[in-house]
Amino acid sequence: MNPFIEIITQPDNIAIVIMIIMVTFFMVWAFLQALQNDKLLAAGLPVEGENDKFVDTFKPLVRIELIIAIVVMVGLTIWSIAVDAPLEEIANPTITPNPAKAPWYFLGLQELLVYFDPWLAGVVLPSLIVVGLLAIPYIDINPKGNGYYTFAERKYAILIFSFGFFVLWLLLIVIGVFFRGPGWLWYWPWQEWDHARVVFEPTKDLTTVIGIDSRSLPGFIIGALVVGSYLIGGMMAPYYYWKKNSPELLAKLGIIRYVTIVFLFITMMSIPIKMVLRLVFLIKYIWITPWFNV
């Protein structure tokens, strides 16, 4: 069989295909409604749902709930009749499959292991995702766009969230499912997996590029300076930018909100930055310390 068809029709991967279809559909629908409302807002007209009347729960709402329940049940039943859940060989600690993949919704995190050490990719970053999600309502102080689809009124919030959700979470999952083969090497879906393939990619550390041993004291100091200035510079830059361009915003945010927003943002942006460093410049670590590497 064509390897591409083979990989997308593997029983567990069908879920990912369904996810891609559903997510794309709802993404388009959300943004279409947002643009539609933006036109109404620009014209000073009420948005969708603003002049809602009340209707009885029984039966309009109960009816639609019942219909949805039936549709979902029929859909899942068809899926369950058509596709059988796989059962592999009995668990065997002595035979390690290659690649050994985490459950699909964690593959984005597993993909991060290419760019970060496990304590960052598997523990710190996931914790910060949860913290960041919890913080959203408290750090987004824009009162507009409450209870209706809109893009124009909350551009930055939507762009940042969408980048995290669609690119860093969902796209990395799709890559992990469809594009990673033995040795976690990149395989196009139409390529055969080759278990003997080794890719010799001599990765360097940042300081070795400029000829300084990353494990020496000067290397340590330079690395610390680079990481430190990313963090400190990243924390300060928006302050000066906003102070010049929109001081009212800065005043409204206050110090705690400011620190939280900017810290979460630069942490999030460190992911694409390290991806580029690793993939384009073959740089593995920026800073090597006796305790951990970044």
Partner 1 sequence: MKSLPQITDKVKKNLIWKSIFRRDYRNTVRDRAQAVFGNVFLHLHPVQVRESAVKLRFTWGMGGITFFAFILLVITGVVLMFYYHPTIDQAYNDIKDLEFQVPFGVILRNLHRWGAHFMVIVVMIHMFRVFMTGSYKTPRQFNWGIGVFLLVFTFLLSFTGYLTPWDQLGFWAITVGTNMGAATPLLGYQGPFSEYLHITPYNDIRFALLGGAQVGGNALLRSYIWHCVALPLISIILMFVHFWRVRKDGGISKPQK
Burial tier of 125 (Cβ tally within 10 Å: 0-12, 13-18, 19+): buried
- The residue (of 139 and 222) whose beta carbon lies closer to partner 1 is 139
Of 124, 150, 129, give the one whose Cα is nearest residue 47: 150
In the 8-state DSSP scheme, what is residue 163?
Answer: I
Judged by CB, which is closer to partner 1: 72, or 237?
72
- Give the integer Cα–Cα distance in Å for 256 and 91: 49
Q: Which is nearer to partner 1, 186 or 292 (CB)?
A: 292
CA torsion sign for 96, 98, 100, 104 is negative
| Residue 64 phi, psi dihedral angles, 5° rounding | -70, -35
> Which residue number, 122 or 189, has a Cβ lying nearer to partner 1?
122
CB of 65 to partner 1, least distance (A): 6
Write down the least CB distance from residue 44 to partner 1, Å. 11
User: What is the Cα–Cα distance from 144 to 142, expressed in whole angstroms?
Assistant: 5
For the record, the structure tokens of 165 come out as: 């959700």
DSSP 8-state secondary structure symbol assigned to residue 102: -
- Cβ-based nearer residue to partner 1, 24 or 229: 24
Q: How far is the CB of 92 from partner 1 (least distance, A)?
A: 6
Answer for the pair 287, 293: CB distance below 8 angstroms, yes or no. yes
Closest distance of CB 281 from partner 1, Å: 25
Q: Which one, 116 or 258, has the nearer CB to partner 1?
A: 116
Tokens 């050994």, residue?
Answer: 100
* Least distance CB 70 / partner 1 (angstroms): 10
Report how far residue 110's alpha carbon sits from residue 169's, in angstroms, rounded to the nearest whole number.
11
Task: Return the structure tokens found at 212.
Answer: 């300084």
Q: From CA 233, how far away is CA 221, in angstroms rounded?
A: 17
CA 238: distance to chain centroid?
A: 23
Nearer to partner 1, 136 or 276 (CB): 136
Q: Work out how close the CB of 119 gets to partner 1 at its nearest, in angstroms, rounded to a whole number.
A: 4
